[in-house]
Structure 1
Amino acid sequence: GVLSCTGSAVLAVCLRMQVNKENKEFKDLPPERAFADFVLCNLVLHLVIMNFLG
């Protein structure tokens, strides 16, 4: 429920920060890697939430 929505929103914000061209902190990270990290973290998040819900 709420934890899933909040977690997804946080992961989406992190993805946007990583692929933003103006952000110099992640300039060495390719967008494909950032998206792969986003997908993997979303899968783990939802698996944990499904396990928690039963």
Structure 2
Amino acid sequence: METGRPAVMEPDPVPAELVLPRVVAAGIRAAPSSGWTPRSDGSPFELRLSPAG
């Protein structure tokens, strides 16, 4: 239904932890040493980050 008034919506929750592009880049660079090969058949690349600490 369109009322012409702005919608009142709850704000999205803020993520507890942000993943910075440099962390993603480091994970991608480390993937080959974990056995991932970009041009081979198989499962897609999955980025799994360890909790900071």
TM more than 0.5: no
Q: Which structure shows the bigger proportion of residues in helix conformation? A: 1
Query: Which structure is larger by alpha-carbon Rg, 1 or 2?
Result: 2
Taking structure 2 as the reference length, what is the TM-score of the superposition?
0.31
Taking structure 1 as the reference length, what is the TM-score of the superposition?
0.31
Q: Relative contact order, CA 8 A, sep 6+: which one is greater?
A: 1
